[in-house]
Amino acid sequence: MTHNWNRLISYCLHPSHPHTVNPEPIRTSFIYPPLVRDTQSIRLLSPHLNQSGLSFDLQTYAANDCPPYIALSYCWGTPSPPSIITVNSHPFVVSPNLADALHHVLDYLQCAQSTSNPANYLLWVDQICINQDDEAELANQVQLMPQLFQASSLTIAWLGLTDEHSDHALQLLARKQRTTRKLTVPEKCILLKFDERSYWKRVWIMQEFILPPRLLIACGKTRVSWDSMRHANSRNYSFCTHMAPLFQRRNVMQYQNRKTHLARLLTIVKGRGCTRPFDRIFALLGLAVPGDLNGLRVDYTMPTQDFYHHVISLLRRAARTKMEWDRGNKDLAEALEFPRPKRALTPPLIDQEGPVEITEDASD
């Protein structure tokens, strides 16, 4: 049983499927001005809307006292062929998918320029606004990410470029509840293909998609606001492995203000990709029941085994009853495609005092 438990937790935090893991972060020679971490500073991009190409100024603001901004949620994608943009008059390397996303965002801003305040043109983009080579800064900014997306004036979820069926898929997803016609087999196939887009398979998009008050979904030049989708018929996506739990969690979070237990979130993100195994926990900071995360400090330098130990301790502390621990072990093992244990598993990395809870939603 000890062996099974170790495999179970290891799989939660570091899935064995290599195709679900994003490439290594893109490196750049750009020199970042340091952030004042004690004041919770962030960087925002100011685009040069009237210039050709992608050109930005990068400026520092206090996280709790910054102008309105648009946050970008996207999949980094493959790093090659690299795209070159300009930041503070210096060349800056970004992934091709981010370059596509930025072109889309600038097109969106150009269309809104005559009706919007220029202050709303500030952008937050993790690949540029965070020094990915500075682990201390990265940890500091990851801790702020839930606040960053919740405080955004708008978050744009960039799904990638269009294909022959993506526009139709978005139309199907936005069909209202009062529509009684069932989806045809070809329509279900279109949605299943749409559900396989790389965007939906990232761990990080869970909180990026769920937390923002205002969300705009963009695929190529097609844009759909979440408000037009929130009353969509859930039967239109209930069979989609990646989109269904994401859409359901957003509705629960935004309109019922219910967070989810950490153990339940771990089963939901099973198989989703991330570069660092620790991100399977850190990417859930804004979604988990606060009591489940008391004492959690974002730290990328911690030894992996110590991190596993800490995660188990968090689950243990959240426990209420031995029965919940027994039931939770079986539910978690099943969700992660492990055989159901014949008896309750006991975490080997912590003391035996007290159970560990694996539960459903906090309000269940």
Where is 87: in which H helix or E strand?
Answer: strand 83-87
Render each residue's pLDDT in the chain as its tens digit; 364 residues: 445 445 555 555 555 444 344 445 555 567 898 887 677 899 999 998 777 789 999 999 999 889 999 999 999 988 888 899 999 999 999 999 999 999 999 988 888 765 555 546 899 999 999 999 999 999 999 999 999 999 999 999 999 999 999 999 998 888 765 566 788 899 999 999 999 999 999 999 999 999 999 999 999 999 999 988 877 767 778 888 899 889 988 988 887 788 888 888 888 888 788 888 888 889 999 999 888 888 788 988 888 888 878 887 777 776 654 445 555 555 554 443 333 444 444 433 333 333 333 333 444 3
Number of Cβ within a 10 Å radius of residue 336: 17
Q: 334: alpha, beta or left, given left = phi > 0 and alpha = psi -120 to 50?
A: alpha
**Could you tell me which of 26, 27, 44 has the C-alpha nearest to residue 35?**
44
User: Angle at Cα 48 formed by Cα 43 and Cα 50, nearest 5°?
Assistant: 165
Q: Beta strand 122-124 with 222-225: parallel, antiparallel or unpaired?
A: unpaired
pLDDT at 13 (0 to 100): 54
The residues, any chain, with a CB within 8 Å of residue 65's CB and separated by 6 or more, are none
Contact yes or no for 72/124 (Cβ under 8 A): yes
Contact yes or no for 214/270 (Cβ under 8 A): no
Give the pTM.
0.80
State which amino acid sits at residue 96.
P
Cis ω for the linkage preceding 96 (within 30 of 0): no
